[in-house]
Structure 1
């Protein structure tokens, strides 16, 4: 005997998601990304500023120690590495390069490197404020 062919009911036809369901899910994901992304990049910028301030403090401490040991300031930042006051020159995390701005010593002092600052004024001001120096103008 031949059985009549059954047509699938409403449950049998539904095998995937509808376009509306997919659109709602994508809209929720997009909304979550819009809320999370600015916080992530803000935290990333704040962490770079903290690393920048720490790197500047390290270099300044090495310059001060060099001056205390030798009675003069170094001629270059490479001299701090050569004389083992620093293992290597710290990288500026904002620009991802070793691009420090060198400030000369006061008149009458020997050497050419009295202080360092970051080339960007906002990051430099934040770093100077972190260690008690006044930002140069």
Structure 2
């Protein structure tokens, strides 16, 4: 005996796939915006932590650290954080103090602008 009505027709499958494609085309840009925003927030927090560690190091040692790794060696940081935009630890741009040597400030080495239009290098 032949059973009618089992399975899906090609038209039904195409309708379901079209609906899924429509949902994905609406959700994907929003998801990407959230990822970019999360990277920006993580970058600001990493910069804040490193600048705080540099300030504490300067207050304790009366000098600026020679390199970021010195903050880790002296336990001001657990590790040098990764730049979430470049996904690298060695892309930080070290800013020397006006007079002398060492690390006075740190900036992101990421090229281009952030979501708010400002350049990452100015943060």
Q: Which 4+ stretches in 1 moved above 2 angstroms?
A: 125-128
Q: 1:62 to 1:105 in 2, by over 3 A?
A: same
In structure 2, the partner of 1:113 is 103
> Which one of the candidate residues 3, 16, 24 is aligned to 1:25?
16
Distance 1:126 1:88 in 2: 25
Whole-angstrom distance in 2 between the partners of 1:16 and 1:76:
66
Q: Could you list the runs of 5+ residues in structure 2 that have no partner in the other structure?
A: none
Cα displacement (A) at 1:45 = 1.1
Per the alignment, residue 103 of structure 1 pairs with 95
- What RMSD, in angstroms, separates the aligned Cα atoms of the two structures? 2.0
Distance 1:60 1:126 in 2: 19
Q: TM-score, normalised by structure 1?
A: 0.77
Q: In structure 2, how many angstroms separate the alpha carbons of the residues matched to 1:58 and 1:47?
A: 17
Q: Which protein has the larger Cα radius of gyration, Structure 1 or Structure 2?
A: 1
1:81–1:88: 8 Å Cα contact kept in structure 2?
Answer: yes
Superposition deviation, residue 87 in structure 1: 1.1
Question: Per-residue deviation at 1:94?
Answer: 1.4
The structure-2 alpha-carbon separation of the partners of 1:48 and 1:56, relative to structure 1 and needing over 3 Å to count, comes to same
For 2:76 and 2:47, the matched residues in 1 are separated by 14
Q: Deviations over 1:13-45 (max 9, x none)?
A: 222211111110100000000001111111011
Equivalent residue pairs, number: 118
Deviation at 1:126, TM superposition (A): 6.5
Contact 2:110/2:120 (<8 A) preserved = no
